[in-house]
Amino acid sequence: MIFRRKLLAVFALTICVSVAAVAGMVLALTRRAFEKTEEHRTAALLAQFQREFNRQGEDAARRVQAIAASEPVTHMAAALEHSAGDSAAYFDLARSMADNYQLDFLEFVDARGTIISSAQWPAKFGYPEGAFESLAGASDQGAFLKQEELQDSTALGLFAVRADRVGERAMYVIGGRRLDKNFLSALDLPADMRALLYQNRGDHFSPDLLVDPAAAGNVADAAHPAEKFATLIEAVRQYDQEAAGIVQWSSDRAEDEVFHAIPLRGVGKDRPLLGILLIGHSRRSYVELKNRIGASALAVGGGGIVLAILFSSWAAARVTRPVEQLARAAQSVAAGNWNTRVVVPGDDEFAQLAESFNRMTAELLTQKERLVQAERVAAWRELARRLAHELKNPLFPLQLTVENLVRARMQSPEQFDEIFGESSRTLLAEISNLKAIIGRFSEFSKMPHPQLQPVQVNEILRGVAQLFQAQLQAPGREPIVCKLELDESLGTLAADPDLLHRALSNLVLNAMDAMPKGGTLTLRSRRDDGRTVIEVADTGSGLTPEECERIFTPYYTSKQHGTGLGLAIVQSVVSDHGGRIGVRSETGVATTFVIELQDNRDMLHTTEADGPQSNS
Partner 1 sequence: MKLFDWRCLAVSSALLAVVAAQGETRPQYGGTLHVAVRAAPASLDPADGGPDSFGRRNVTRLMFETLVTTDDNGRAHALLATSWQAAPGNQRWQFSLRHGVKFHDGTALTAEAAATSLRVANPAWNVSADGDSVVIERDAADAEMLAELALPRNAIAKRTADGRPDGTGPFHVVDWQPGKKLTLAAEEGYWRGRPFLDGIEIEMGKSNRDQILALDVGKADLVEVGAEWAHRFSLEKRGLESSAPVELLALVFVRDARTPEEKLLREALALSVERGSMRSVLLQGAGQPAGGVLPNWISGYGFVFPAEADLPRARHDREQVRSAPGWTLGYDGSDPMARLLAERIALNAKDAGLALQPTSAAMTDLRVVRIPLASGDPWLALANAAAVAGLPAAKNKGSSVEDLYAAEQAALASQKIIPLFHLPVYCAAGAELKNWTVRPDGSWSLADAWLGSSKP
Q: Residue 56 corresponds to which amino acid?
A: Q
Q: Which of 124, 228, 502, 550 binds partner 1 (CB under 8 A)?
A: 124
The nearer residue to partner 1, 94 or 308, going by C-beta atoms, is 94
The nearer residue to partner 1, 24 or 128, going by C-beta atoms, is 128
| Residues paired with residue 271 on neighbouring β-strands, in sequence order | none
Residue 212's alpha-carbon distances to 179, 221, 233, 270, 279, in angstroms, are 11, 9, 14, 28, 11
Q: Which of 123, 222, 223, 470 binds partner 1 (CB under 8 A)?
A: 123
DSSP-derived secondary structure for 13-59: HHHHHHHHHHHHHHHHHHHHHHHHHHHHHHHHHHHHHHHHHHHHHHH
The nearer residue to partner 1, 209 or 504, going by C-beta atoms, is 209
For residues 420 and 405, the answer to whether their CB atoms sit within 8 Å is yes
Q: What distance, in Å, lies between the first and last C-alpha atoms of the chain? A: 54
Residues 6+ apart with CB under 8 A from 225: 207
For residues 114 and 80, the answer to whether their CB atoms sit within 8 Å is no
What is the H or E stretch that residue 453 is in? Answer: strand 453-456
Q: How does DSSP classify residue 448?
A: P
d(CA 482, CA 472): 8
For residues 194 and 280, the answer to whether their CB atoms sit within 8 Å is yes
Residue 336's alpha-carbon distances to 58, 330, 375, in angstroms, are 107, 10, 17
Residue 211 beta carbon to partner 1: minimum distance, rounded to whole angstroms: 22
Q: Which of 10, 21, 29, 89 binds partner 1 (CB under 8 A)?
A: 89
For residues 293 and 27, the answer to whether their CB atoms sit within 8 Å is yes
Residue 157 beta carbon to partner 1: minimum distance, rounded to whole angstroms: 19
The nearer residue to partner 1, 85 or 336, going by C-beta atoms, is 85
Among the listed ranges 68-76, 123-131, 200-208, 400-408, the one in contact with partner 1 (CB under 8 A) is 123-131
Is residue 88 close enough to count as binding partner 1 by CB under 8 A? yes
Q: Which of 70, 100, 122, 576 binds partner 1 (CB under 8 A)?
A: 122
Task: Compute how many residues bind partner 1; rule: CB under 8 A.
Answer: 13
Among the listed ranges 64-72, 117-125, 284-292, 470-478, the one in contact with partner 1 (CB under 8 A) is 117-125
Q: Which of 125, 198, 229, 468 binds partner 1 (CB under 8 A)?
A: 125
| Residues paired with residue 164 on neighbouring β-strands, in sequence order | 171
Q: Which of 42, 87, 120, 361 binds partner 1 (CB under 8 A)?
A: 87
For residues 568 and 491, the answer to whether their CB atoms sit within 8 Å is no
Residue 153 beta carbon to partner 1: minimum distance, rounded to whole angstroms: 11
Is residue 79 close enough to count as binding partner 1 by CB under 8 A? no
What is the H or E stretch that residue 282 is in? Answer: strand 273-282
Is residue 105 close enough to count as binding partner 1 by CB under 8 A? no
Residue 409's alpha-carbon distances to 74, 428, 431, in angstroms, are 189, 19, 22
Q: Residue 88 corresponds to which amino acid?
A: A
Query: What residues between 149 and 208 interact with partner 1 by CB under 8 A?
Result: 151-152
Residues 6+ apart with CB under 8 A from 398: 427, 430, 431
Q: Which of 46, 52, 59, 121 binds partner 1 (CB under 8 A)?
A: 121
Residue 167 beta carbon to partner 1: minimum distance, rounded to whole angstroms: 23
Is residue 524 close enough to count as binding partner 1 by CB under 8 A? no
The nearer residue to partner 1, 116 or 534, going by C-beta atoms, is 116
Residue 172 beta carbon to partner 1: minimum distance, rounded to whole angstroms: 19
Q: Which of 5, 21, 75, 127 binds partner 1 (CB under 8 A)?
A: 127
Helices 71-82/93-101 angle, 10° precision: 160
Residue 91 beta carbon to partner 1: minimum distance, rounded to whole angstroms: 5
What is the H or E stretch that residue 528 is in? Answer: strand 519-528
Among the listed ranges 84-92, 508-516, 525-533, 561-569, the one in contact with partner 1 (CB under 8 A) is 84-92
Q: Which of 24, 126, 137, 516 binds partner 1 (CB under 8 A)?
A: 126
The nearer residue to partner 1, 150 or 360, going by C-beta atoms, is 150
Residue 292 beta carbon to partner 1: minimum distance, rounded to whole angstroms: 54
Among the listed ranges 52-60, 85-93, 338-346, 493-501, the one in contact with partner 1 (CB under 8 A) is 85-93
Q: Which of 91, 132, 183, 350 binds partner 1 (CB under 8 A)?
A: 91
Side-chain half-sphere CA neighbours of 272 within 13 A? 12
The nearer residue to partner 1, 69 or 150, going by C-beta atoms, is 150
3-state helix, strand and coil shares in percent for the chain, rounded to the nearest 5: 55, 20, 25
Among the listed ranges 119-127, 356-364, 389-397, 551-559, the one in contact with partner 1 (CB under 8 A) is 119-127
Write phi, then psi, for 160 (nearest 5 degrees).
-140, 150
**Starting at the edge strand that comes first in sequence, how are the strands of the sheet with 193-199 ordered?**
210-211, 193-199, 273-282, 257-265, 243-247
Residue 129 beta carbon to partner 1: minimum distance, rounded to whole angstroms: 14
Residue 163 beta carbon to partner 1: minimum distance, rounded to whole angstroms: 23
The nearer residue to partner 1, 89 or 295, going by C-beta atoms, is 89
Residue 116 beta carbon to partner 1: minimum distance, rounded to whole angstroms: 10
Which ranges constitute the DSSP H helices of 515-600? 545-550, 566-576
The nearer residue to partner 1, 116 or 568, going by C-beta atoms, is 116
Closest among 590, 458, 602 to 527, alpha carbons compared: 458
Q: Which residues bind partner 1 (CB under 8 A)?
A: 87-89, 91, 121-127, 151-152
